[in-house]
Chain A
Amino acid sequence: MSNMTSLSATRATLPRERLVHMYRQMRRIRHFEEAVDRLFQQGLIWGTFHLYIGQEASAVGAVEALRPDDYITSTHRGHGHCIAKGASIPLMMAELRGKETGYCRGRGGSMHIADLDTGNLGANGIVGGGVPIAAGAALAIKKKGTDQVVMCFFGDGAMQQGAFHEAVNFASVFKLPVVFLCENNQYAMSMPVEKGLGSNDIAARAASYGIPGVSADGNDVLAVYEAAKEAVERARNGGGPTLLETRTYRLRGHSKSDANRYRTREEIEEWRRRCPIERFERWLEAQGVMAAADFEAVKAEVLREIEDAIAFAEGQPDPDPAQLADGVYA
């Protein structure tokens, strides 16, 4: 893996306010997920969820390459994508608390948060389930003749699913404006990528569909951004899909049931040292974009925002069982 320890040498073309925004988004994801974990320990969130901690650079770098009117499809590990695309943290928190005013009126929960207003076509409880939907959204865009793009997030586990193959081939055949972004976080639940895939070279699989395949350091937010930008521009200009791999690591367990029996403490520690947020901080500081005091200020603001969201969600009404069947049909 190239360039895992130093951040992308180029500053890309991003102005300071975008860099600060990206940093803030990464912090919002990290602290949101930490809060979710805490609320679960306190018994305030139930069911299950899949934390994005350690992968923040992937969502934030990729979404930075999109316009607000572009679309994403997401995964069971979807909180990061959702926040990166611009969702409201209070409404996400209300949904995780199962409240009537949450994003899905408490009917969806962690694995089904969607925010059509910000172009998020939904998290997905089925591994690989969103990939054909992304192709379909891109098909609609092409038919409508707009220049929007779909960013389809999925993981290395989805690369083991048939739906991936069908959808990528479909998108290639019709040259659809979609970027297939595989977040290779090294494990499909407990299955290491080198055991679950016949070839570890994920980007190389693109060749079999006749589309470009690119691999980026998924813990380097600028490297992700640059790779995503190129893929998004290609899609927007009629060049069809790209398969983009972001190599990253899931620092927390797969879900709450995970006792980490399939990996070592040392391995987790090794990746913790490559924390995408700390790496970005070092780069921002070295470039003179932000200083230590700025990081602290952003962190404090984000923590306050999340505490406010928790308080907001706490005060929201629960759904009324009399409305159980609302929304089954249009």
Chain B
Amino acid sequence: MRNGEGMRELTYAQAIREALAEEMRRDDSVFIMGEDIGVYGGAFGVTLDLVHEFGPDKVMDTPLSEAAIIGAATGAAVLGMRPVAEVQFSDFLTIGADQLVNQAAKMRYMFGGKAKVPMVVRTPLGSGTGAAAQHSQSLETWFMHIPGLKVLAPATPYDAKGLLKSAIRDDNPVVFFEHKLLYRTKGHVPAEEYTVPIGKAAVRREGRDVTVIASSVMVLRSLAAAETLAAEGIDVEVIDLRSLRPLDTETIVNSVVETGRAVVVHEANRFAGFGGEIAATIVESEAFDFLDAPIVRLGGKDVPIPYNPVLERAAVPQEEDIVAACRRLMQESRRSGVRR
């Protein structure tokens, strides 16, 4: 990445807004709809001011109706539009889940491969804002389980913009999870046109000792943990999944073959979370023979997200949990006499 002049920085929210605006300018079939996305700008301000450029027909304030929003996106997509629906909190996907899971995801297959459903559902996930149990969940695993959906969870402004543009141009229903804690984070976003391909993970940091496989806000915590560990002589590789379905198993497996140690970290509940899928993918692959220690899964505790900030913080993996997990892995493999 270049430094100095031309290095434009945007927030994650601005990057998403720019992707929406550019795609609406580029393709007349693209429009956005959701609750309070017009003058209000969306609950997190992501769509702020878009209604002024594009008008209320392209930036549609809808009734408070998740089933109607997702269902209308589905119906419009089948007729050739490219709707981007905003669901105000990803917890509310449960209210419109029939339209997403039983309708949009399955339509093409049920119809013998005939319909295309090019739609995106953008929605914020995650805890850390004090919004408590019904506005803080990470339900991405639910949707990863559904054939017919694609599931994305970008961690950086660059990826948020590039992946959203890919999602809008994709001919399948895509669930696009944005993390509330990331909206104000800044990063390099080129002014020039680019997209980020769906289905490719990114190695955010190279390292020899432990592979940390993360997504969304956990990528930032993993990178911070890696800095701490580097001072202790533990060299951590951090993989940002970006795309949860399809999953880039090749990047994961190749890394674990090199490091022999893996930590999987996500905010979604650890029990039956996608960390289990990733761990299974590793042990089913050639990386199994290279493992020097058991795979560690870090995930949300088995509780609804609590309100109190101390409890809330304790409910999901933090930087220190990742540091501790990597240290433990190194110690275990040292005790058993393994050191690469």
Assembled-state Cα–Cα distance A329/B150 (Å): 9
CA gap between A52 and B312 in the complex, in Å: 54
A-binding segment of B44-52, B67-75, B154-162, B328-336? B67-75
| Contacts A167-B71, A327-B112; A121 near B78 (Cβ below 8 A) | yes
Nearest-Cβ distance from residue A304 to partner chain B, whole angstroms: 27
B171: chain A residues within 8 A (beta carbon): 330
Within 8 A of A (CB), among B78-109: 78-81, 83, 98-99, 102-103, 107-109
- Determine if B80 and A133 form an interchain contact, defined as CB atoms under 8 angstroms apart: no
B73 touches A136 (CB 8 A): yes
Q: How far is the CB of B3 from chain A (nearest CB, A)?
A: 39
Q: Are A136 and B74 in contact (CB under 8 A)?
A: yes
- Residues of the B chain whose Cβ atoms lie less than 8 Å from the Cβ of A125: 102
Q: How far is the CA of A81 from the CA of B270 in the complex (A)?
A: 46
Note all chain A residues with C-beta closer than 8 A to B306: none
> In the complex, which residues of chain A have a beta carbon less than 8 angstroms from the beta carbon of B81?
139-140, 143-144
| Contacting residue for A139 out of B75, B98, B109, B148, CB 8 A | B75
Q: Judge whether A328 and B62 touch: CB under 8 Å.
A: no
Which A residues from 80 to 133 make CB contacts under 8 A with B? 102-108, 112, 114, 116, 121-122, 124-126, 129, 131-133
B76 proximal to A (CB < 8 A) = yes
* A136-B112 Cα distance, complex, nearest whole Å: 21
Interface band, chain A: 35 or more
A contact residues around B67 at 8 Å (CB): 132, 162-163, 166-167
CB of B111 within 8 A of CB of A122, answer yes
- State whether A163 touches B99 (Cβ < 8 A): yes
Residues on A with beta carbons closer than 8 Å to the beta carbon of B73? 136
Q: How far is the CB of B81 from chain A (nearest CB, A)?
A: 5
Indicate the size class of the contact surface on chain B: 35 or more
Q: Between A and B, how many residue pairs show CB distances below 8 Å?
A: 153
Other-chain residue from A102, A107, A140, A162 in contact with B76 (beta carbon distance below 8 A): A140
Q: Which of B15-23, B113-121, B236-244, B275-283 contacts A (4 or more CB under 8 A)?
A: B113-121
Q: Does A59 have its Cβ within 8 Å of any Cβ on chain B?
A: no
The answer to whether B71 and A107 have CB atoms under 8 Å apart is no
Q: Decide if A186 is an interface residue (CB 8 Å cutoff).
A: no
Most buried by A among B63, B76, B77, B112: B112
**In chain A between 303 and 330, which residues have their CB closer than 8 angstroms to a CB of chain B?**
326-330
Contact A139 B72, beta carbon cutoff 8 Å: yes
Q: Does A160 contact B (CB under 8 A)?
A: no
Known interface pairs A140-B81, A143-B57, A330-B171; A132-B71 also in contact (CB < 8 Å)? yes
Q: Known interface pairs A133-B71, A167-B67, A170-B63. Does A327 touch B79 (Cβ–Cβ under 8 Å)? A: no
- A169 at the binding interface (Cβ < 8 Å): yes
| Complex CA–CA separation, A133 to B75 (angstroms) | 4
Contact A328 B108, CB 8 Å, known A137-B75, A139-B75, A163-B71: yes
Cβ of B110 under 8 Å from chain A = yes
Distance of A148 Cα from B86 Cα, bound (Å): 27
Contact A170 B62 (CB under 8 A): yes
Q: Which of B66, B72, B80, B102 has most A Cβ within 10 Å?
A: B72
Give the chain B neighbours of A65 by CB distance below 8 A. none
**Are B111 and A132 in contact (CB-based, < 8 A)?**
no
Is B143 interfacial (CB 8 A cutoff)?
no
Instruction: Evaluate contact between A129 and B109: CB separation under 8 angstroms.
Output: no
Most chain-A Cβ atoms within 10 A of its Cβ — which of B71, B83, B102, B147? B71
Q: Are A131 and B71 in contact (CB under 8 A)?
A: yes
Q: Decide: B111 and A104 in contact? CB cutoff 8 A.
A: yes
A103 and B63 in contact (CB under 8 A), knowing A136-B76, A137-B76? no
* B77 nearest CB across to chain A (Å): 7
In the complex, what residues of A have CB within 8 A of residue B136's CB? none
A167 to B102, CA, bound (A): 16
Residue A235 is within 8 A (CB to CB) of chain B in the complex: no
- Whole-angstrom CA separation of A35 from B290 in the bound complex: 61
Q: Which partner residue on chain B sits nearest A103 by CB separation?
A: B112
Asked whether B114 lies within 8 Å of A133 as measured between CB atoms, the reply is no
Q: Does B172 contact A (CB under 8 A)?
A: yes
The CA of A136 and the CA of B117, in the complex, are separated in Å by 12
> Is the beta-carbon distance between A139 and B99 smaller than 8 angstroms?
no
Q: How far is the CB of B16 from chain A (nearest CB, A)?
A: 22
The answer to whether B129 has its CB under 8 Å from any CB of chain A is no
- Which chain A residues border B75 with CB–CB below 8 Å? 73, 121, 132-140
**Is residue A141 contacting chain B, with contact meaning CB distance below 8 A?**
yes
For the complex, what is the distance from the CA of A174 to the CA of B68, rounded to whole Å? Answer: 12
Q: Does B12 contact A (CB under 8 A)?
A: no
Bound-state CA distance A327–B68 (Å) is 25
B147 nearest in chain A by CB position: A328
**Does B65 sit at the interface, judged by CB under 8 A?**
yes
Closest A residue by C-beta to B99: A132
Docked complex Cα distance between A108 and B106 (Å): 10
B31 interface residue per 8 A CB criterion: yes
Q: Are the CB atoms of A116 and B108 closer together than 8 Å?
A: no
Query: A residues near B, CB below 8 A?
Result: 71, 73, 102-108, 112, 114, 116, 121-122, 124-126, 129, 131-141, 143-144, 162-163, 166-167, 169-170, 173-174, 326-330
Which residues of B are at the interface with A, using a C-beta cutoff of 8 A? 31, 57, 60, 62-63, 65-81, 83, 98-99, 102-103, 107-118, 147-148, 150, 171-172
State the 7 A-B residue pairs at the shortest beta-carbon distance, nearest first: A132-B71, A136-B75, A327-B113, A105-B112, A136-B72, A140-B79, A104-B112
